[in-house]
A and B are shown apart, each in its own frame.
Chain A
């Protein structure tokens, strides 16, 4: 996991005030900027957007709330477990739940997602067992889920590398004649990476069915976006030749609507879309990071007022779609989930040193078998005493 320290994850850019007023910059109310797609205000008011009508049932709305709450609880528990020495590291998604759940729930069966290392909310939406993510951060395996089965690739630690994988995969989908879409996740910092730009150029040239979903969480570790981009990120898409859209990343409904639209366009052969989900990383970059060294508490306080969960809760309660019993039930479920994650994590068996040979190829090769035998002999040499 040490690679995490070297990355240049870039997330959201605080759209510089000069170029593009940020939604809600400087105020708890995020005054809606013309280009920002928002369907649910920070106060929990449902608003309409002409291009993004959202057809959603009451059950689905409650389901989204449950997703957000459970994913946050998971994140909190994982952070605590890291502080207790049970995880090597943890990359918190705190504050980005809506961006991830909205995007994850926009995917259909047969679609494929390529995550970074922070997409726990998408993993959740794709039905990945949280313990399979925890095992990666505990260092006992490389991620325990089957990417094909879940339509969710393994986490990629190298910044931006998954965009190439996603574009390549999408070009394969295209050649198979399948009607599926690919969703590539990236952060704001990754937009400065060469392979991300290469992936976008290839995607545009081949009209590949891929959507680039950028969570602009404002910081590439400690570097604010305005140091990486002179224009709002979504405007960069125009340079590659496909549409770019900025969505309120703390508004799960808007994210869902925008991502659904983009994925549908991809499936229909209209090529890529770049989505900039404008959000904020409420916690540290990872548990190894101390955000108080590079950003002001004041900024964090402002973003608290734009909390993705609070606004949906307000909307559900006010519109009578959910009552106290519902919210209590979700909370109890969250606590159960946390307990399961805790016990499941600390009880994980250690890997055997020879496990690393198992997943190199689907079938063992003679060369690999010989290496394994030699390694076993080497390991055994430490047990006897005289050697």
Chain B
């Protein structure tokens, strides 16, 4: 432990598993100004292995939360500042960063002691340059916010370590320099100029690990040379010490390599998290678990559209939106009652098919945060007016981003209304755990043979994807045909 420079302590994100390199702050359990005790939970962090609470190593007052909830943070990056109210060293924990030493693993601190390699697993990043034990203690701050690469430090001819130097307070725009590891973060800055600390950006994963013997690897790391940028001349393309030296010489050559990537150009790297991450996982799980079959049906819905106008004038439906989606939902519910197996789940664990009986009707909704699928519980029991009200409420809540988690779980069958985007149809992927999903396309005026003559009619397409483990082609076809029949001739509902 180094001497503290004051009462402010920073807690760095530890590796709570073995060998983890990053974690997402799910939520803060404390706020700025709160008084915290040792071992009081500060925040919840989700890693590749588990979601865990991080207990405070310090007692004191919270001064600053360095990252917002939802941010992906590199292990070893400070996440919170706590005022311990002491002038000197507090028991335990890492000290606040100080000039000339950041307490990074293996790095020499101001008092000459090397920080402990404990609590941090192996890292994939090679960003950390270990300063030499002798010579100027110029520390790289590879994972600290705002790494800067001042041009003037290149080839300056002094005997200081000729590579990365940092000016912790400088807010200079980061620049990219091929071959220097800091370039990775600079890159990230380039596209997210307005973003907060660079450390929040998920480290880029690049191609295969370059071949080099461990001493050379270490040498390159000490020099701050990124091996992925070095051409290897050894056996099998191995990078040798001479290659690293040659690269350094080239890098130190006057000028050219410092190219600035303006914001907004080039590729953009967006951290995968939140709804996007969740959606991706759900879609992959569904697509590779349930064998999907998709069937299509084109339906003349002219009568439905006429009925819709009439129904909209009825007092029972006053004040609610009588949308085509409402008819599709009602048709699906009626058809599902006739074919209960479509409203079911595959329970791999218990080797059972769960036939739900109750229909919790999911509606895929596009929201500013991404796709969410809230559902209407026990929709089969609702009257048309109640169903219309529920649909309106559900979509409004979803678009406002206020859908409660409970409303998104327990769905049993889903409708996705791709028609609102003006497309005809698609092959929807099942909401995980469900066995059927119905896509409802745009309603268009089309030439259609009606009573022996070609007439302009209002036509739409339905697509039904179903889990072929549970639903055979026959059942899927009959169900889809029933939905279509109800839309083509809503009067048929009387027969259901």
Write the residues of chain A forming the contact surface with B, with a CB cutoff of 8 angstroms. 1-2, 4-5, 77, 80, 82-89, 138-140, 284, 287-290, 293, 342-343, 345-348, 350, 378, 382-385, 387
Contact = CB atoms under 8 A, between A and B. Distances in A.
Given A87-B119, A88-B119, A347-B1, A82 B16 contact: yes
Given A290-B51, A343-B91, A382-B222, A88 B12 contact: no
Contact of B49 (A82, A290, A385): A290
Contacts of A84: 11, 14, 54-57, 92-93, 119
Contacts of B14: 82-86
A287 B15 CA distance: 10
Nearest to A79: B55
A2 B20 CA distance: 12
Contacts of B113: 350
A86 B50 contact: no
Which of the listed residues B51, B52, B120 has the most CB atoms from chain A within 10 Å of its own CB? Answer: B52
A373 to B, nearest CB: 17
The 4 closest A-B pairs by CB, nearest first: A85-B14, A290-B50, A85-B119, A346-B92
Interface in B32-51: 38-39, 49-51
B126 interface: no
Contacts of B215: 378
A288 B49 contact: yes
B51 A88 contact: no
Given A288-B17, A346-B93, A138 B51 contact: no
Contact of A342 (B15, B92, B219): B92
Contacts of B51: 290
A87 B118 contact: yes
Contact of B17 (A139, A287, A346): A287
Contacts of B155: none
By CB atoms of chain A within 10 A, which of B94, B114, B118 has the most? B118
A385 B135 contact: yes
A383 B53 CA distance: 40
25 contacts: A2-B18, A80-B39, A80-B55, A83-B54, A83-B55, A84-B14, A84-B55, A84-B119, A85-B13, A85-B15, A86-B14, A86-B93, A86-B118, A86-B119, A138-B116, A138-B119, A140-B118, A287-B16, A287-B52, A289-B49, A343-B92, A346-B1, A347-B1, A378-B215, A383-B134
Interface in B1-27: 1, 11-19
B257 interface: no
A85 B118 contact: yes
Given A2-B18, A83-B54, A139 B117 contact: yes
B121 interface: yes
B339 interface: no
B123 interface: no
Contacts of B118: 85-88, 138-140
In this complex, the interface size class of chain B, counting residues with CB under 8 Å from chain A, is 35 or more
Contacts of B119: 82, 84-88, 138
A162 to B, nearest CB: 22
Contacts of B93: 84, 86, 346
B273 interface: no
B133 interface: yes
Contacts of A4: 18
A295 to B, nearest CB: 13
Nearest to A85: B14
Counting chain A CB atoms within 10 Å of each CB, the highest count among B11, B15, B218 belongs to: B15
B15 A383 contact: no
A378 B119 CA distance: 26
B19 A2 contact: yes
Interface in B72-121: 91-94, 113-114, 116-121
B53 A385 contact: no
Given A84-B11, A140-B118, A382-B132, A5 B18 contact: yes
Contact of A289 (B13, B19, B50): B50
Nearest to B75: A85
B212 to A, nearest CB: 16
Nearest to B120: A85
Nearest to B54: A83
Contact of B132 (A85, A343, A385): A385
B92 A88 contact: no
B218 A382 contact: yes
B319 to A, nearest CB: 43
Contacts of A86: 14, 57, 92-93, 118-119
Contacts of B117: 139, 350
A348 B1 CA distance: 10
A286 B411 CA distance: 34
Contact of B114 (A83, A290, A343, A350): A350
Most central of A290, A293, A383, A387 by chain B CB within 10 Å: A290
A55 B133 CA distance: 62
Contacts of A85: 12-15, 94, 118-120
B42 to A, nearest CB: 10
Contacts of B91: 342-343, 346
A89 B18 contact: yes
A84 B133 CA distance: 27
Nearest to A2: B18
A83 B222 CA distance: 29
